[in-house]
Amino acid sequence: MFCLALLLAAAPALCVASEPSIAASFTSFWNVAQGQPFAQQVQQWDNRIEAPRRELYNSVVWEMQNDPRWQIRRQRWLQARFAAYPKLAASIPDEVRALQSTIATQSIRFRKLFPDASAHPPVEILLAPNFDAKSGTLSDGTPVLAFAADSLLLEQANLSIVVPHELFHLYHAQHAGISNDGVMPGVALTVPLFEEGLATYVSGQLSPGHTDGELLLQNDLGNIPASRLPDIARRFLEDAQHRAIDPEHPEVFKRWFNAAATPYQQGLPNRSGYWLGLQLIRYLRRTYTLAQIAAWSPTQADMQVMSALKRISRKQ
């Protein structure tokens, strides 16, 4: 596991990884897998990428415990990612180094904002075709934060925005019990709204000077005028009784938080829940400190979000 060391004046004690670096593992994999049939590529991937990190891939990347179709999805995702590697391969080691540097720099800023944050949070840099950055839990319940270097490279993601956003998700899981970015069994849709809005707000505090479109990683979200806030709050309240994980109505979560090629809602960009969540946190900050908001449990967050959304929705 990559252990995050603060860049202090005194030389930090670095953690020694028990497995090869992900950059070295990728180079080893691609040297033998490039140009080979897909079945052979998968075998080499399993041996060189996943085997040294089996628990992380099983629990966090593929979420085997929650997805009975994980093997089918894994095959599809890997096939698409292997097809992209010829253009990405040469740059992956540089992306890993850039991630390591940004994580170290942002961790210093993060602890100034949240002094009780761990100096060595559990952060992993890996390769994954199905996400760019993700908070998850290992089989023993330990929270972990994973960055997928290849996905971030493919997206040309701004690491100075992504890294503090995700560091907050990990901190929040450890200190307030809001895990998996708020998408938790049994909680209402208000919890991921709160969680993503708060992480976006924190990334703006730790990486200032960015537009809302940049912080939200989507320019059209940044173009939503503030005058639309009451109407969008009213729309969300119509869905707020649904669960974050709702097998009978998965479309409800998707229309507020998922990206897609076609719109989920008329007149609103996809992922509008992120925009609404950010505005919600700014509204709550008029009354509460950041430390108070970050300490709310899932139950408290649900109650505060519902109350704030109702007040916002009544504004003209």
- So what's the pLDDT on residue 11? 30
Please write the tens of the pLDDT for every residue from 108-156.
999 999 999 988 889 999 999 999 998 888 888 888 999 999 999 999 9
CA atoms within 13 A on the CB side of 112: 11
Please write the tens of the pLDDT for every residue from 85-97.
999 999 999 999 9
- So what's the pLDDT on residue 9? 32
CA distances from 114 to 111, 123, 270 (A): 5, 17, 31
d(CA 171, CA 114) in angstroms, rounded, equals 9
pLDDT band at 19 (very low <50, low <70, confident <90, very high): low
Q: Which residues contact 81 (CB under 8 A, 6 or more apart)?
A: 129, 150
pLDDT band at 67 (very low <50, low <70, confident <90, very high): confident
Q: Is the pLDDT of residue 290 over 60?
A: yes
Please write the tens of the pLDDT for every residue from 155-167.
999 999 999 999 9
d(CA 28, CA 32) in angstroms, rounded, equals 7
Nearest partner of 274 among 219, 216, 235, 227, judged by Cα = 216
d(CA 172, CA 117) in angstroms, rounded, equals 10
Q: Is the pLDDT of residue 248 over 70?
A: yes
**Mean pLDDT calculated for residue range 178-189:** 92
Both tokens of 261, joined, read 């090629």
